[in-house]
Structure 1
Amino acid sequence: MVSYRKRGEVWQYEISYKDNDGQYKKLRRSGFRLKSDAELAASKVRTDFVDVRQYRNAELSLADFFERWLNLYKAGSVSDITLRKYTNTLEHIRQIFGDIKLKDLNRSLYQDRINHFAQTHAVRTVSTFHKQIRAALLDALDEHVIIFDPTRKTVITGKSVKPRRKALDYEDWQKLIHNLDPTDQDDLIIYVAAVTGMRYAEILGLTPDDLDLSTGLLRINKTWDYKYRTGFKKTKNRASIRTIPLDSKTIGRLNEYILDHEIAQNTPVFLTDGVAPVSAQINKVLTEKLNKLGLPRITFHGLRHTHASVLGSRIFGVDTNNARDSRSIFV
């Protein structure tokens, strides 16, 4: 039901409707110079939106709508890691789009905001940002919260990013491992990754009983959840469960570290008071070490690529993923 009234020098329309709980609510808008202007505006609301509740939703900011969409459709249905990515997108939306409402969002405004985001982010990041927003807005379109898709034909650009080197060559690898302190926890973690190609979570999952000193074999059969601190977890897949031979130097360094820190047989070697160093910390230590030695920057995961490359070229004479994780490299 729509009614009109004059308030001073301007006209107001009032639309009565029921909310989702069945309670009667009123939508009022005023400031129209003529009654016909108020009638036209009220008519547009009733024409563009199936009911007034959708009009109310269209008055939400993009950030608030995305947050509600995220909690409704994604929370509980995607992995924690994926949910974090959506949450990160929400934070960027708040920064880039501010309080812009859904009803005010058009193609030009959306493209302008995406271009602004692209000034400081790589194309891949911009593309992911756009896809996640678009998914929410297409649902809004399906629900008649908006009457057109402002993301249609969006042009994706981004900051030019120099490709990061993925691995060290043999000489750089040698220089790195010979400048790591085996008594320092972070350095020893980096060392183990460099000579075995183990994943970070696998290294954190190592316990003294995984190391067989008599045979020099290391059993990899579990990982440690360093992100959410839930304890031991399964390996990435069944193929990740394996046994690798270690060189004498690596065996000695690990055994000495275990004895010096009096680590119990079933306790993770690299935890301090039950807490594992986060991957960002190890990457920072690695970056600082590489910079100090004048070596190319790689990520911690790049040590795994380095191991595969060095092991293949030095032992098998080829650079192949089949060599990855087959053994530690004699140093």
Structure 2
Amino acid sequence: MARFVKRGNVWQYEISYKDTDGKYKKLRKSGFSKKSEAIAAAGEIESDLFKGFNATSKDILLSDYFEKWINTYKKDKVSDKTFNIYLYSLKIINEYLEGATVKTLTRSVYQEKLNAYSSKHSTSSTRKINIHIHAALSNLLDEGVIKMDFTKGAVTIGKVKPKDEEDKYLNFEEFSRLIQFVREKLNPLYATPFMVYIASLTGMRYSELVGLTWDNVNFDNNYINVKRTWDFKNNSFAPTKNKESIRRIYLDGNTLYEIKKYKLSQEKLFKKYKVNPPHDFVFYNVRDGLVSNSSVNKQIRKLCKKLEINEKLTCHGLRHSHASMLIFEGINILYISKRLGHKSYNVTMSTYAHAIKELQEQENINMKKVLEKLSRSK
């Protein structure tokens, strides 16, 4: 219940309420020139208290809260690569939302700041920032510290086209030629072509490939066991991108034969030159050790040039090519999603919408033929 007192020329309200710990407390605020203003302000506070809003909690800078949130809920619980993405979001908050607090920031002001960022960045980048801030605010909403999620309904359309190098892929004929060509050049002296070969036939991410050890290649049951990645920064193994990325990738007998042949040749070579890798890595060069991302991308460009393939492809592009090939060959999309280690089926659908659309167009033709056959009069 609110009580109103005039102190000098201004009015003050005093609200008695029971806190979450069951104790009675008082909330006061003065400085209102009219009693009606104090009554209106007190009414709003009482309404918030009734709804469970924590009116007495201190305001805090969004940047300070977000930093505390990522250190509490994300650090050491996600990969270093993923945590660095959250740190980038913190950098953007400090740059574009400097001085903004969790209680005073409105949707319109937040949108203005988001627009400023999106004018210089892509849609995917803008959307990621908004998703991170939205996730952090959920705790404040649940605890009644803030009444409104100012990220809700935010427009996240960027004005800068994203880099599309990694989104490029080869068609079936080009991809087939690349695989055949690189298979003929497999040599344990050079691990990079072998990585190109395996990446093409598995769709594995670069970090998964470089972290692959021979004990995770199951020759008896024809699969590669993906259970970790390699972190060059910390020079150690790291978790996969998500729990769904821990998976078995099955291969055909011909591919396993080439892998086994390469393994035997590699063992002889390492023994000859007395090479002792720190771990039993699959993709390890005699002279330079583990294959770098730049080396494999350079090798792909070199191979494409020899094959007169104009597409500027990367290692991630081989992953796209592998998935697109499976889609065009009619492999079930759920199986493809699991094979790629996507977090959800929706990720696969959105990432390969272009290939799925082309396949649907072909299916429309096939369906037409089926219907014509069924409706044909005898």
Give the TM-score taking structure 2 as reference length. Answer: 0.54
Tell me, yes or no, if structure 1 residue 296 matches structure 2 residue 300: no
Pair 1:244 & 2:253 matched: yes
**Closer, same or farther in 2 for the Cα pair 1:210/1:155, shift >3 Å?**
closer
Deviation, 1:105, is 0.7
Q: Which residue of 2 aligns with 1:315?
A: none
Task: State the Cα distance separating 1:189 from its structure 2 match.
Answer: 1.8
Query: 1:235 Cα shift?
Result: 9.8
Deviation at 1:111, TM superposition (A): 0.4
Aligned-partner Cα distance in 2 for 1:28–1:152:
31
- Give me the identity figure in percent: 25
User: Where does residue 281 of structure 2 map in the other structure?
Assistant: 268
Supply the RMSD in Å over aligned alpha carbons: 5.6
Is residue 2:220 matched to residue 1:199?
no
In the alignment, which residue of structure 2 is the partner of 1:329? none
Deviations 1:95-120, CA, capped at 9 Å, x for gaps: 33223112331121110122123224
State the partner residue of 1:256: 265
- The letter of the residue matching 1:145 is V
Distance 1:44 1:243 in 2: 71
1:235 and 1:149, CA in 2 relative to 1: closer, same or farther beyond 3 A? closer
Cα distance between partner residues in 2 of 1:299 and 1:252:
26
Task: Please give the per-residue CA displacement for 1:158-214, whole angstroms capped at 9, x wherever unaligned.
Answer: 2334752133554475397378875233343223323x33625367434289587xx
CA displacement, residues 252-294 of structure 1 (integer Å, 9 cap, x when unaligned): 5543333222378992333589xx958xx42x33333445555
Q: Is the CA contact 1:3–1:15 (under 8 Å) kept in the aligned structure 2?
A: no
User: Any unmatched runs of 5+ in structure 1?
Assistant: 313-317, 326-331
For 1:97, give the aligned amino acid. Answer: L
Task: Tell me which residue corresponds to 1:114.
Answer: 114
How far apart are the structure 2 equivalents of 1:63 and 1:130? 14
Q: Which residue of 2 aligns with 1:174?
A: 178
SS in 2 for 1:99: coil
> Does the CA-based 8 Å contact 2:189-2:285 persist in structure 1?
no
CA distance in 1, matches of 2:321, 2:108: 46
SS in 2 for 1:297: coil
> Structure 1 residues 260, 114: CA separation in 2 closer, same or farther (over 3 Å shift)?
same
Cross-structure match for 1:190: 196
The whole-number CA distance in structure 2 between the counterparts of 1:78 and 1:149 is 25
Aligned pairs for 1:30-109 (under 5 A) are: 50=49, 54=54, 57=57, 59-70=59-70, 74-75=73-74, 80=79, 84=83, 86=86, 88-109=88-109
CA distance in 1, matches of 2:67, 2:297: 35
Match of 1:165 in 2: 168
Structure 1 distance, partners of 2:33, 2:216, is 84
CA distance in 2: counterparts of 1:232 and 1:45, whole angstroms: 48
The within-5 A match list for 1:129-144 is 129-144=129-144
Hey, what does 1:226 align to over in structure 2?
A: 229
Q: Indicate how the Cα distance of structure 1 residues 128 and 188 shifts in structure 2: closer, same or farther if over 3 A, else same.
A: same
Find the aligned partners of 1:161 and 1:238 in 2 and give their Cα distance.
30
SS at match of 1:104: coil
Q: Which amino acid aligns with 2:212?
A: G
SS in 2 for 1:222: strand
Give the AA of the match of 2:155.
V
The aligned amino acid for 1:109 is: V
How many residues align? The count is 302
Determine helix, strand or coil for the equivalent of 1:240: strand
CA contact (8 A) 1:168 1:296 kept: no
* Partner residue, 1:328: none
Tell me the TM-score normalised to structure 1 length.
0.60
Maintained 8 Å contact 1:287/1:299: yes
CA contact (8 A) 1:120 1:158 kept: yes
